[in-house]
Amino acid sequence: GEDVEQSLFLSVREGDSSVINCTYTDSSSTYLYWYKQEPGAGLQLLTYIFSNMDMKQDQRLTVLLNKKDKHLSLRIADTQTGDSAIYFCAGPGGYQKVTFGIGTKLQVIP
Residue 87 identity = Y
Binds other proteins by CB under 8 A, chosen from 45, 55, 77, 109: 45
Rounded CA-CA distance 38/53 in Å is: 28
Closest CB to other proteins among residues 25, 44: 44
Binding of residue 39 to other proteins (CB under 8 A): no
Rounded CA-CA distance 52/48 in Å is: 12
Q: How many CA atoms lie within 13 A of 2 on its CB side?
A: 22
The least CB distance from residue 41 to other proteins, in Å, is 6
Write each residue from 62 to 101 as x if it is in contact with other proteins (CB under 8 A), else as -, in one continuous string: --------------------------x----xxxxxx-xx
Enumerate binding residues for other proteins (CB under 8 A): 4, 30-31, 33, 40-45, 48, 50, 88, 93-98, 100-103
